[in-house]
Homo-oligomer: A and B are copies of this chain.
Amino acid sequence: MNSENFTLSEKIVLPSYIRQGSQARRSHEQLIRLLLEQGKCPEEGWSESTIELFLNELAVMDSNNFLGNCGVGEREGRVASSLVARRHYRLIHGIGRSGDIAAIQPKAAGSSLLNKLTNSVVLDILKIAGVRSVASCFVVPMATGMSLTLCFLTLRHRRPKARYIIWPRIDQKSCFKSMITAGFEPVVVENALEGDELRTDLEAVERKIEELGAENILCVHSTTSCFAPRVPDRIEELAAMCAKYNIPHIVNNAYGVQSSKCMHLIQQGARVGRIDAFVQSLDKNFMVPVGGAIIAGFDEPFVQEISKMYPGRASASPSLDVLITLLTLGAKGYKKLLSERKELYSFLAQELKSLASAHKERLLHTPHNPISLAMSLDCLQAESDKAVTQLGSMLFTRQVSGARVVPLGNEQTISGHTFRGFMSHSESYPWPYLNAASAVGITREDVALCIKRLDRCLKTLKKEQNGAESITRELIFNPAPCLCMSDVCLSLFTLSPLLSRLSH
């Protein structure tokens, strides 16, 4: 309420009480002031009431909520369902204009503020998370893959002749498709096996550059966060190489914001070499619903160029989600989540190690991967060639999600390119294994339950090797087509061999 209304209220309720109420209101306003002034994520999280007050304030600034508005355009922010209006806090106009997803909208001052502030708060968080020299970023309502596509499409205008993208192999389908969709030819560079780890083969990358000619290469497309035993690419060296050959460099930092190591790689890469843009998922890093990404870079004009490449306006929903989330957590809360994640990574590693040794397997040694771990399934495989895939299915039906088994010898063809050893980031990784990750928001209970159930599954599988009926029965009853519930899984598991064996 404005001061006039507070004064009127003093005639109804005792002035001293109203005055205290109005002071209380000022403390909310003060938080909003700091946000507007500094454009940073507040150190302390806001209460739900401050957040909702703020969102309501933004909403009343949009023309669809003007009490006296009359609309005769083709897009007036009208909403047919009040359920829908409410869930969007009546912010209906989305973000951006036809020219630019970061542009402000005349009809929607509130949504425009939301958009600007979100980008600004997110930029602050990227700095806090470790990329201190990031210059600009924006939230885009598309997941990581499509956001990478947008980066590639933008680069096309700078490098009209280029046809190839150099890509150190990572077996994640949408990464590969992001290049195909943009119309480029991915040049897959196999990883080098170093101990248990799969790492960037820098020499192979350089060979490819020289072979194809720098001017024919749109960019190098590297990756930080990934499933063990692959580890983050050698971003520093790649960035230096890109600088040397004058080739753009796009980093897929999908869920790397949550890891100080991944962020450090990017920071260092930009310092010593060239990184044009790095892309990260909103949902994987900030615990919001799927569907948004952050495109960030060290050169503001290039980031703007990307934002201007998005034709038309876009959903404000991912921006709203991440803004609410970061205001709720505060910088402090987000940092706390990150440090908890780190601790639970150690806990998970330790628990997996114990479990592995109990089952005569081992935790693969992948010290460069700060998020994902892998435990060999060598013995399991030795007992039966189906046991590895059975394990995946069993975990699925036991509500262990995200624990992905990687058997040997998968083969997968995507858009004409055949990947041997698919899912393992390598044509011939020596062991089958199981992945588990410590991602932001994981709890100690998640780890404990997972280890417990995994243990039981492994025991059951061993017992069953003589008489496989009961597992088979489970598979028949639950013909889980997907063994891993992970993004990278493409193969539908068919039961037919098992079934036919059973019928004999």
Q: A494 in the interface, Cβ–Cβ < 8 Å?
A: no
Q: A173 in the interface, Cβ–Cβ < 8 Å?
A: yes
Asked if residues A61 and B22 are in contact (CB atoms below 8 Å), the reply is: yes
Residue of B nearest to A438 (CB): B72
Q: A270 in the interface, Cβ–Cβ < 8 Å?
A: no
Asked if residues B14 and A29 are in contact (CB atoms below 8 Å), the reply is: no
Interface residues of A in 366-383 (CB under 8 A from B): 371-372
* CA of A14 to CA of B106, assembled, Å: 8
Asked if residues B288 and A317 are in contact (CB atoms below 8 Å), the reply is: no
Q: Which of B178, B325, B400, B486 contacts A84 (CB 8 A)?
A: B325
* CA of A156 to CA of B149, assembled, Å: 14
Asked if residues A291 and B453 are in contact (CB atoms below 8 Å), the reply is: no
Asked if residues B73 and A404 are in contact (CB atoms below 8 Å), the reply is: yes
Residue of B nearest to A114 (CB): B13
The verdict on A321 contacting B84 (CB below 8 Å), with A12-B113, A25-B61, A59-B49 known, is yes
Q: What are the 3 closest A-B residue pairs judged by CB atoms, nearest first?
A: A73-B402, A291-B315, A94-B290
A417-429 CB mask vs B (1 if < 8 Å, else 0) is: 0000000000000
Beyond known contacts A75-B281, A142-B142, A143-B312: 5 more, CB 8 A cutoff: A25-B60, A72-B450, A141-B291, A291-B315, A315-B318
Asked if residues A70 and B311 are in contact (CB atoms below 8 Å), the reply is: no
Residue of B nearest to A173 (CB): B98
Residue of B nearest to A292 (CB): B315
Q: A263 in the interface, Cβ–Cβ < 8 Å?
A: no
Q: Which of B12, B94, B450 contacts A289 (CB 8 A)?
A: B94
Q: A16 in the interface, Cβ–Cβ < 8 Å?
A: yes
User: Which B residues are CB-close (under 8 A) to A67?
Assistant: 24, 27-28, 31, 47, 50
* CA of A175 to CA of B118, assembled, Å: 27
User: Which B residues are CB-close (under 8 A) to A97?
Assistant: 487
A49-91 CB mask vs B (1 if < 8 Å, else 0) is: 1111100110111110111111111111111111111111111
Q: A324 in the interface, Cβ–Cβ < 8 Å?
A: yes
Asked if residues A291 and B313 are in contact (CB atoms below 8 Å), the reply is: yes
Q: A284 in the interface, Cβ–Cβ < 8 Å?
A: yes
* CA of A155 to CA of B60, assembled, Å: 43
Interface residues of A in 307-322 (CB under 8 A from B): 309-318, 321
User: Which B residues are CB-close (under 8 A) to A332?
Assistant: none
A-B contact pairs, 10 of them (CB 8 A): A13-B113, A48-B83, A71-B400, A73-B439, A78-B440, A79-B287, A82-B82, A99-B174, A107-B401, A173-B311
Q: A358 in the interface, Cβ–Cβ < 8 Å?
A: no
* CA of A291 to CA of B317, assembled, Å: 8
* CA of A22 to CA of B86, assembled, Å: 21
Distance to closest chain B CB from A277 (angstroms): 16
User: Which B residues are CB-close (under 8 A) to A9?
Assistant: 36, 109, 113
Asked if residues A401 and B76 are in contact (CB atoms below 8 Å), the reply is: yes
User: Which B residues are CB-close (under 8 A) to A189?
Assistant: none
Q: A353 in the interface, Cβ–Cβ < 8 Å?
A: no
Q: Which of B79, B106, B143, B311 contacts A17 (CB 8 A)?
A: B106
Asked if residues B1 and A480 are in contact (CB atoms below 8 Å), the reply is: no
* CA of A485 to CA of B77, assembled, Å: 13
User: Which B residues are CB-close (under 8 A) to A51?
Assistant: 83
Asked if residues A60 and B28 are in contact (CB atoms below 8 Å), the reply is: yes
The verdict on A329 contacting B48 (CB below 8 Å), with A5-B36, A29-B1 known, is no
Q: A135 in the interface, Cβ–Cβ < 8 Å?
A: no
User: Which B residues are CB-close (under 8 A) to A15?
Assistant: 479
User: Which B residues are CB-close (under 8 A) to A480?
Assistant: 16, 106
* CA of A61 to CA of B180, assembled, Å: 33
Q: Which has the most chain B C-beta neighbours within 10 Å: A49, A92, A317?
A: A317
Q: Which of B143, B324, B487 contacts A83 (CB 8 A)?
A: B324
Asked if residues B177 and A311 are in contact (CB atoms below 8 Å), the reply is: yes
User: Which B residues are CB-close (under 8 A) to A8?
Assistant: 33, 36-37
Interface residues of A in 446-504 (CB under 8 A from B): 446-450, 453, 478-482, 485-488, 490
Asked if residues B98 and A16 are in contact (CB atoms below 8 Å), the reply is: no
The verdict on A437 contacting B99 (CB below 8 Å), with A113-B12, A312-B178, A396-B106 known, is no
Q: A137 in the interface, Cβ–Cβ < 8 Å?
A: no
* CA of A146 to CA of B22, assembled, Å: 33
Q: Which has the most chain B C-beta neighbours within 10 Å: A25, A144, A289?
A: A289
Distance to closest chain B CB from A468 (angstroms): 19
Residue of B nearest to A97 (CB): B487
